[in-house]
Structures are given as C-alpha cells and as structure tokens.
Amino acid sequence: MGEFVNLEVEAGVGTIRLNRPPVNAINNQLQTELAEAAREASNRQDVRAVILYGGEKTFAGGADIKEMGDRTYPEISKFGAELTASCSLVAAIPKPVVAAITGYALGGGLELALTADWRVAGDNVKVGQPEIQLGIIPGAGGTQRLSRLIGPSKAKDLIYTGRFVKADEALKLGIVDEVVAPDDVYAAAHKWAAQFVNGPAVALKAAKAAIDSGLDVDLATGLKIETQLFTALWATEDQKNGMKSFIENGPGKATFEGK
C-alpha cells in the first residue's frame, strides 16, 4: 500500500487509486508507486481487469509543476524517463484496463488515462495537454498515444494550443469512449471491467498484445504477430472448453478458468 497510489481488489476487479489531494498532481513518489501498482495488478492472478481512478473530484491534474520547475536537466531527464516507464507499465498490464475520469485529466493525467484500453468520463470533465503553455511539450506519451488514438492533425491541434476539451468534444474526438453523469463514472467503469472477470484471461491477454504490438509495426509484421498469438491459444484449457461448449451448447455459454 503506497501513500499516494493503492491497488484495491474486489471480486476480480482491481482499482488503481490515485490519492494525492487536492488534484492528484504527479510527483516522483506518485509515479514510483504507480509503477509498483501496475506491476502488482499485472502479476496478481485474482485481478482479471483494472480500473484507473483518481476519486470523485478529479482524475489527475497533471505533473507537480512546483516540484518540476527548479529541476536541472539531468534531474528532469531522469524523472521524464521514469514517468514514461511508469505509464508504459500501466499500458502493458496484460488485462483489460479502463480509466474512470472525473473532474480533470490534464497533462500527465491525460497521458495516464491514454494508457487505458477504454475511457469513461463524467459529462463535466475537461481533458487536455496544456504543456505548451509552460513552454514544454507532453513528455509521458501524449505526443505518441494521443496521435495514434485520434490522428496526428487533431492531436497537433490539442498539443499546439494546449486548450482544454470538454466531455462532449472529447467523446467526438475519440479521446474518451463513454460519457456518463459525474456520480456514475466509477460504476460505469466497473461495469465495463467486470464483464471480463470470468472471461478467457489468456485470450484477452493475447488480444491486447496483438492490437498494441501491431500498432507499432507494419501490417505484414502485425499479421505475423496475430497468427503467433492466435495459434498459441490452442495450448490453453480455455480454448478447449470454449470450443467444446460452443459445439455442445451453442455460443456464449462457456465457462472459463483463465488457463
């Protein structure tokens, strides 16, 4: 259990909870604890899906500017690399991950949300990459994940201007995938995550790996990755159970053990 980041597990769903009031500003300790929580969520067999959550008021308001402002170049180089590595560990969690976004997800906060597979936001949220207003650029995946998600021209508009985006525009752009009432954000995220608790965990891991790995390579290489992961699933009990159930009982009735 960290001071600013905890992993809470209930009924197969793990919640990585940020808790650094008032706005969950990301400092060195928080990013270190975030990496630890991501590793734990990846390794625990009782965690089948993950929610990223900053609480009822705000997801994460960005990096701790007071801490960053006076750093030397060697110091910020180290912090930047570590923050990128922490976000990458969250992105690499081999299970379905959903971000439950309340209040604000700005700068490093949006970059953290972008590591998720699905994003649920309250209808009053604001998201953005305002780093340009500080004379810098996003440094924890914003230029890369955002452009892959919504396309380079739209990402450049947001990054060049540093403007805040409201929930309706974020949904239209594809930054978030679902918009609900503010009080329903965590419940909606939990509903999305819970549907995978009894699913074929190895196949879900393979699907995520195929998609994410394929985005970084050409189509021919991506197809080879897909074929390798597809055929490897014939070594799992879930494949045998799933196909046997389909033949005997029809679709959608299989019981999976995650093996």
Extents of the domains making up the chain: 5-194, 201-249
pLDDT at 248: 84
**CATH for 5-194?**
3.90.226.10
Q: Is the pLDDT of residue 131 over 80?
A: yes
Q: Is the pLDDT of residue 36 over 80?
A: yes
Q: Is the pLDDT of residue 1 over 80?
A: no
CB 129 within 8 A of CB 138: yes
Number of Cβ within 10 Å of residue 89's Cβ equals 18
**Architecture of the CATH domain 201-249:** Orthogonal Bundle (1.10)
- Structure-token pair, residue 76: 């910020």
Handedness of CA 153, 157, 160, 162 (dihedral sign): negative
pLDDT at 67: 81
CA R_g for the chain: 19
pLDDT at 93: 98
pLDDT at 251: 84
Q: Is the pLDDT of residue 208 over 80?
A: yes
Q: What is the mean pLDDT of residues 104-125?
A: 97
pLDDT at 62: 86
Q: Is the pLDDT of residue 243 over 90?
A: no
Non-local CB neighbours of 15 within 8 Å, separated by 6+ positions: 7, 8, 9, 50, 51, 53
Positions marked catalytic: 111, 131
Q: What is the mean pLDDT of residues 228-244?
A: 90
Where are the strands (E) in the chain, listed by range? 5-10, 13-18, 49-53, 97-101, 104-106, 118-122, 126-128, 165-166, 178-180
Nearest residue to 212 (alpha-carbon basis) of 105, 93, 131: 93
pLDDT at 71: 86
Under the banding of pLDDT at 50, 70 and 90, the label for residue 64 is confident
Q: What is the mean pLDDT of residues 44-69?
A: 92
Percent of the chain with pLDDT over 90: 83
The predicted model scores a pTM of 0.94
pLDDT at 179: 98
Non-local CB neighbours of 257 within 8 Å, separated by 6+ positions: 237, 238, 241
- Structure-token pair, residue 236: 């799992």
